[in-house]
Chain A
Protein backbone atom coordinates (compact mmCIF):
# COMPACT_ATOMS: atom_id res chain seq x y z
CA UNK A 1 0.00 0.00 0.00
CA UNK A 2 1.28 3.48 -0.91
CA UNK A 3 2.08 6.08 1.72
CA UNK A 4 -0.19 9.10 1.81
CA UNK A 5 1.46 12.51 1.69
CA UNK A 6 -0.49 15.73 1.43
CA UNK A 7 1.44 18.99 1.82
CA UNK A 8 0.14 21.61 4.24
CA UNK A 9 -1.46 24.81 3.02
CA UNK A 10 -2.51 27.81 5.10
CA UNK A 11 -5.95 26.26 5.58
CA UNK A 12 -5.30 22.54 5.38
CA UNK A 13 -2.95 20.38 7.47
CA UNK A 14 0.09 18.32 6.54
CA UNK A 15 -1.01 14.69 6.24
CA UNK A 16 1.73 12.07 6.33
CA UNK A 17 0.73 8.43 6.62
CA UNK A 18 3.62 5.99 6.54
CA UNK A 19 2.92 2.26 6.08
CA UNK A 20 6.45 1.22 7.12
CA UNK A 21 6.73 3.13 10.40
CA UNK A 22 2.96 2.87 11.05
CA UNK A 23 2.98 6.51 12.08
CA UNK A 24 0.14 8.66 10.82
CA UNK A 25 0.54 12.39 11.26
CA UNK A 26 -1.91 15.24 10.83
CA UNK A 27 -0.36 18.61 11.60
CA UNK A 28 -1.41 22.18 11.02
CA UNK A 29 -4.67 24.00 10.52
CA UNK A 30 -7.93 22.74 9.18
CA UNK A 31 -10.55 24.96 7.59
CA UNK A 32 -10.78 23.73 4.00
CA UNK A 33 -13.09 25.20 1.37
CA UNK A 34 -15.05 21.95 1.44
CA UNK A 35 -14.04 19.86 4.46
CA UNK A 36 -15.79 16.60 3.57
CA UNK A 37 -14.40 16.68 0.04
CA UNK A 38 -10.85 17.46 1.24
CA UNK A 39 -10.78 14.54 3.71
CA UNK A 40 -12.55 12.00 1.48
CA UNK A 41 -9.30 10.45 0.12
CA UNK A 42 -7.84 10.51 3.64
CA UNK A 43 -10.75 8.54 5.08
CA UNK A 44 -10.63 6.11 2.16
CA UNK A 45 -6.89 5.57 2.68
CA UNK A 46 -7.40 4.94 6.41
CA UNK A 47 -10.09 2.31 5.80
CA UNK A 48 -7.85 0.40 3.39
CA UNK A 49 -4.84 0.76 5.68
CA UNK A 50 -6.54 -0.71 8.74
CA UNK A 51 -7.79 -3.64 6.67
CA UNK A 52 -4.22 -4.43 5.65
CA UNK A 53 -2.18 -4.06 8.87
CA UNK A 54 -1.82 -5.89 12.17
CA UNK A 55 0.94 -3.62 13.56
CA UNK A 56 0.43 -1.03 16.27
CA UNK A 57 -0.38 2.29 14.64
CA UNK A 58 0.51 5.64 16.19
CA UNK A 59 -1.58 8.62 15.18
CA UNK A 60 -0.26 12.09 15.96
CA UNK A 61 -2.66 14.99 15.81
CA UNK A 62 -1.21 18.47 16.13
CA UNK A 63 -3.97 20.76 15.01
CA UNK A 64 -3.69 24.33 16.26
CA UNK A 65 -6.91 25.47 14.64
CA UNK A 66 -9.85 23.59 13.19
CA UNK A 67 -13.29 24.83 12.22
CA UNK A 68 -16.51 23.19 13.39
CA UNK A 69 -16.90 21.11 10.22
CA UNK A 70 -13.36 19.73 10.65
CA UNK A 71 -14.30 18.90 14.23
CA UNK A 72 -17.14 16.73 12.93
CA UNK A 73 -14.79 15.16 10.42
CA UNK A 74 -12.24 14.28 13.14
CA UNK A 75 -15.10 12.80 15.15
CA UNK A 76 -15.92 10.54 12.19
CA UNK A 77 -12.22 9.68 11.90
CA UNK A 78 -12.11 8.63 15.57
CA UNK A 79 -15.19 6.50 14.87
CA UNK A 80 -13.22 4.80 12.11
CA UNK A 81 -10.39 4.14 14.62
CA UNK A 82 -12.91 2.52 16.98
CA UNK A 83 -14.09 0.22 14.18
CA UNK A 84 -10.49 -0.66 13.30
CA UNK A 85 -9.71 -1.41 16.94
CA UNK A 86 -12.78 -3.64 17.24
CA UNK A 87 -11.48 -5.53 14.21
CA UNK A 88 -8.15 -6.19 15.93
CA UNK A 89 -5.94 -3.17 15.11
CA UNK A 90 -3.83 -1.67 17.90
CA UNK A 91 -4.02 2.11 17.94
CA UNK A 92 -2.37 4.82 20.02
CA UNK A 93 -3.46 8.43 19.48
CA UNK A 94 -1.41 11.42 20.60
CA UNK A 95 -3.30 14.71 20.76
CA UNK A 96 -0.51 17.30 20.81
CA UNK A 97 -1.38 20.83 21.83
CA UNK A 98 0.20 24.15 22.78
CA UNK A 99 0.27 24.40 26.59
CA UNK A 100 -1.13 27.93 26.45
CA UNK A 101 -4.03 26.95 24.22
CA UNK A 102 -7.00 25.94 26.39
CA UNK A 103 -9.29 25.36 23.40
CA UNK A 104 -6.98 22.79 21.91
CA UNK A 105 -6.58 21.01 25.26
CA UNK A 106 -10.36 21.05 25.74
CA UNK A 107 -10.84 19.60 22.25
CA UNK A 108 -8.51 16.71 23.12
CA UNK A 109 -10.37 16.10 26.39
CA UNK A 110 -13.66 16.10 24.46
CA UNK A 111 -12.38 13.33 22.18
CA UNK A 112 -11.12 11.36 25.21
CA UNK A 113 -14.57 11.54 26.81
CA UNK A 114 -16.43 10.66 23.60
CA UNK A 115 -14.11 7.77 22.74
CA UNK A 116 -13.24 6.08 26.01
CA UNK A 117 -12.38 2.79 24.28
CA UNK A 118 -9.47 4.47 22.44
CA UNK A 119 -6.05 5.23 23.94
CA UNK A 120 -5.81 9.00 23.51
CA UNK A 121 -2.84 10.73 25.14
CA UNK A 122 -2.91 14.48 25.69
CA UNK A 123 0.58 15.77 24.97
CA UNK A 124 1.29 19.40 25.93
CA UNK A 125 4.10 21.04 23.95
Chain B
Protein backbone atom coordinates (compact mmCIF):
# COMPACT_ATOMS: atom_id res chain seq x y z
CA UNK B 1 0.00 0.00 0.00
CA UNK B 2 1.50 3.40 -0.91
CA UNK B 3 2.06 5.64 2.09
CA UNK B 4 -0.15 8.73 1.95
CA UNK B 5 1.90 10.41 4.63
CA UNK B 6 5.13 9.89 2.73
CA UNK B 7 3.45 11.19 -0.41
CA UNK B 8 2.35 14.32 1.45
CA UNK B 9 5.82 14.84 2.94
CA UNK B 10 7.47 14.43 -0.47
CA UNK B 11 5.00 16.84 -2.04
CA UNK B 12 5.73 19.49 0.61
CA UNK B 13 9.49 19.03 0.18
CA UNK B 14 9.19 19.32 -3.61
CA UNK B 15 7.31 22.58 -3.12
CA UNK B 16 10.19 23.95 -1.01
CA UNK B 17 8.18 23.90 2.23
CA UNK B 18 10.41 23.93 5.31
CA UNK B 19 7.70 24.34 7.94
CA UNK B 20 4.08 23.35 7.76
CA UNK B 21 1.17 23.31 10.11
CA UNK B 22 -2.37 22.16 9.54
CA UNK B 23 -5.10 21.87 12.14
CA UNK B 24 -6.15 23.68 15.29
CA UNK B 25 -4.09 26.87 15.37
CA UNK B 26 -3.58 29.19 18.36
CA UNK B 27 -1.23 31.88 19.62
CA UNK B 28 0.95 29.27 21.37
CA UNK B 29 1.61 27.54 18.06
CA UNK B 30 2.16 30.89 16.34
CA UNK B 31 4.83 31.71 18.91
CA UNK B 32 6.62 28.38 18.54
CA UNK B 33 6.71 28.66 14.75
CA UNK B 34 7.85 32.30 14.91
CA UNK B 35 10.77 31.29 17.14
CA UNK B 36 11.62 28.38 14.87
CA UNK B 37 11.74 30.72 11.85
CA UNK B 38 14.21 32.96 13.63
CA UNK B 39 16.43 30.25 15.07
CA UNK B 40 16.52 28.09 11.96
CA UNK B 41 17.16 30.91 9.49
CA UNK B 42 19.68 32.71 11.67
CA UNK B 43 21.62 29.47 11.83
CA UNK B 44 21.62 29.30 8.04
CA UNK B 45 23.21 32.73 7.69
CA UNK B 46 20.28 34.45 5.95
CA UNK B 47 20.37 38.24 6.23
CA UNK B 48 18.60 39.84 9.18
CA UNK B 49 16.21 41.94 7.13
CA UNK B 50 14.85 38.94 5.20
CA UNK B 51 14.36 37.00 8.44
CA UNK B 52 12.56 39.94 10.05
CA UNK B 53 10.29 40.41 7.02
CA UNK B 54 9.47 36.71 6.94
CA UNK B 55 8.82 36.76 10.69
CA UNK B 56 6.58 39.84 10.38
CA UNK B 57 4.54 38.41 7.50
CA UNK B 58 4.15 35.09 9.29
CA UNK B 59 2.91 36.75 12.51
CA UNK B 60 0.40 38.97 10.67
CA UNK B 61 -0.91 36.08 8.53
CA UNK B 62 -1.17 33.75 11.52
CA UNK B 63 -2.96 36.37 13.62
CA UNK B 64 -5.37 36.99 10.72
CA UNK B 65 -6.01 33.26 10.52
CA UNK B 66 -6.69 33.04 14.26
CA UNK B 67 -8.90 36.14 14.36
CA UNK B 68 -10.91 35.77 11.14
CA UNK B 69 -11.33 32.07 10.51
CA UNK B 70 -15.01 31.13 10.47
CA UNK B 71 -14.10 28.05 12.56
CA UNK B 72 -12.61 30.06 15.41
CA UNK B 73 -13.64 29.15 18.96
CA UNK B 74 -12.59 30.28 22.40
CA UNK B 75 -11.25 27.42 24.49
CA UNK B 76 -11.87 27.08 28.25
CA UNK B 77 -9.04 29.57 29.00
CA UNK B 78 -10.55 32.19 26.63
CA UNK B 79 -7.80 31.57 24.08
CA UNK B 80 -8.90 31.67 20.45
CA UNK B 81 -8.36 28.52 18.40
CA UNK B 82 -8.98 28.33 14.65
CA UNK B 83 -8.59 25.66 12.03
CA UNK B 84 -6.18 26.49 9.25
CA UNK B 85 -3.06 25.64 7.32
CA UNK B 86 0.22 27.57 7.11
CA UNK B 87 3.23 26.76 4.95
CA UNK B 88 6.60 28.48 5.05
CA UNK B 89 9.24 27.73 2.48
CA UNK B 90 11.59 28.77 -0.30
CA UNK B 91 10.50 28.91 -3.94
CA UNK B 92 13.44 27.70 -6.05
CA UNK B 93 12.22 29.31 -9.29
CA UNK B 94 11.50 32.73 -7.84
CA UNK B 95 14.41 32.41 -5.39
CA UNK B 96 12.18 33.90 -2.73
CA UNK B 97 10.78 32.82 0.62
CA UNK B 98 7.03 32.44 0.91
CA UNK B 99 4.33 32.23 3.53
CA UNK B 100 1.01 30.67 2.52
CA UNK B 101 -2.04 30.48 4.71
CA UNK B 102 -5.50 28.99 4.27
CA UNK B 103 -8.64 29.09 6.35
CA UNK B 104 -12.40 29.16 6.00
CA UNK B 105 -14.17 32.52 6.02
CA UNK B 106 -17.81 33.54 5.91
CA UNK B 107 -18.80 34.56 2.38
CA UNK B 108 -20.41 37.73 3.73
CA UNK B 109 -16.88 39.00 4.51
CA UNK B 110 -15.18 38.16 1.22
CA UNK B 111 -16.07 41.32 -0.73
CA UNK B 112 -14.70 43.54 2.03
CA UNK B 113 -11.50 41.45 2.18
CA UNK B 114 -11.08 41.60 -1.61
CA UNK B 115 -11.48 45.40 -1.57
CA UNK B 116 -8.86 45.76 1.15
CA UNK B 117 -6.37 43.38 -0.49
CA UNK B 118 -6.76 44.93 -3.96
CA UNK B 119 -6.23 48.37 -2.54
CA UNK B 120 -2.80 47.50 -1.11
CA UNK B 121 -1.71 45.21 -4.00
CA UNK B 122 -1.28 48.16 -6.34
CA UNK B 123 0.53 50.46 -3.92
CA UNK B 124 4.26 51.19 -3.95
CA UNK B 125 6.35 51.23 -0.75
CA UNK B 126 5.81 54.95 -0.05
CA UNK B 127 2.07 54.71 -0.63
CA UNK B 128 1.91 51.69 1.68
CA UNK B 129 3.80 53.55 4.39
CA UNK B 130 1.44 56.50 4.08
CA UNK B 131 -1.69 54.31 3.99
CA UNK B 132 -0.52 52.35 7.06
CA UNK B 133 -0.18 55.57 9.02
CA UNK B 134 -3.50 56.91 7.73
CA UNK B 135 -5.36 53.73 8.80
CA UNK B 136 -3.58 53.71 12.14
CA UNK B 137 -4.62 57.32 12.76
CA UNK B 138 -8.26 56.87 11.73
CA UNK B 139 -8.76 53.42 13.25
CA UNK B 140 -11.20 52.94 10.34
CA UNK B 141 -10.70 49.17 10.02
CA UNK B 142 -10.06 48.50 13.72
CA UNK B 143 -12.08 45.88 15.56
CA UNK B 144 -12.01 44.31 19.02
CA UNK B 145 -8.87 42.21 18.40
CA UNK B 146 -6.95 44.12 15.76
CA UNK B 147 -6.18 47.39 14.07
CA UNK B 148 -7.11 46.24 10.53
CA UNK B 149 -3.52 46.91 9.43
CA UNK B 150 -2.50 43.31 8.67
CA UNK B 151 -2.86 43.32 4.87
CA UNK B 152 -0.98 46.65 4.62
CA UNK B 153 1.83 45.39 6.83
CA UNK B 154 2.13 42.14 4.82
CA UNK B 155 2.23 44.00 1.49
CA UNK B 156 4.83 46.44 2.93
CA UNK B 157 7.20 43.55 3.66
CA UNK B 158 6.47 41.45 0.57
CA UNK B 159 8.58 41.79 -2.59
CA UNK B 160 5.67 41.35 -5.02
CA UNK B 161 1.88 41.85 -4.93
CA UNK B 162 0.24 39.49 -2.44
CA UNK B 163 -1.86 36.72 -3.99
CA UNK B 164 -5.21 35.42 -2.85
CA UNK B 165 -8.17 33.34 -3.90
CA UNK B 166 -11.50 32.26 -2.48
CA UNK B 167 -12.79 28.74 -3.14
CA UNK B 168 -16.40 28.02 -2.38
CA UNK B 169 -16.86 25.34 0.33
CA UNK B 170 -20.64 25.55 0.65
CA UNK B 171 -23.36 28.19 0.31
CA UNK B 172 -22.04 30.36 3.19
CA UNK B 173 -18.34 29.45 3.57
CA UNK B 174 -15.32 29.93 1.30
CA UNK B 175 -11.72 28.77 1.71
CA UNK B 176 -9.41 31.80 1.71
CA UNK B 177 -5.93 31.17 0.35
CA UNK B 178 -3.30 33.84 0.85
CA UNK B 179 0.31 33.95 -0.41
CA UNK B 180 3.15 36.41 0.14
CA UNK B 181 6.69 36.23 -1.29
CA UNK B 182 9.65 37.77 0.48
Contact = CB atoms under 8 A, between A and B. Distances in A.
Interface stretch (A54-62, A66-74, A86-94): A66-74
A15 B35 CA distance: 22
A106 B80 CA distance: 32
A124 interface: no
A83 B27 CA distance: 34
- Main SS of the interface on chain B? helix
B136 A71 contact: yes
Contacts, number: 59
Contacts of B35: 10
Contact of A68 (B31, B34, B80, B150): B150
A80 to B, nearest CB: 14
A67 B63 contact: yes
Contacts of B142: 72
B23 interface: no
B52 interface: yes
A72 B79 contact: no
5 contacts: A67-B153, A69-B146, A71-B147, A72-B136, A73-B147
Interface of A: 10-11, 31, 33-36, 65, 67-69, 71-73, 75, 100-103, 106, 110, 113-114
Shortest Cβ-Cβ A-B pairs, 5 listed:
A72-B147, A68-B149, A33-B27, A68-B153, A69-B146
Interface of B: 27, 31, 34-35, 48-49, 52, 55-56, 59-60, 63, 79-80, 129, 132-133, 136-137, 139, 142, 144-147, 149-150, 152-153
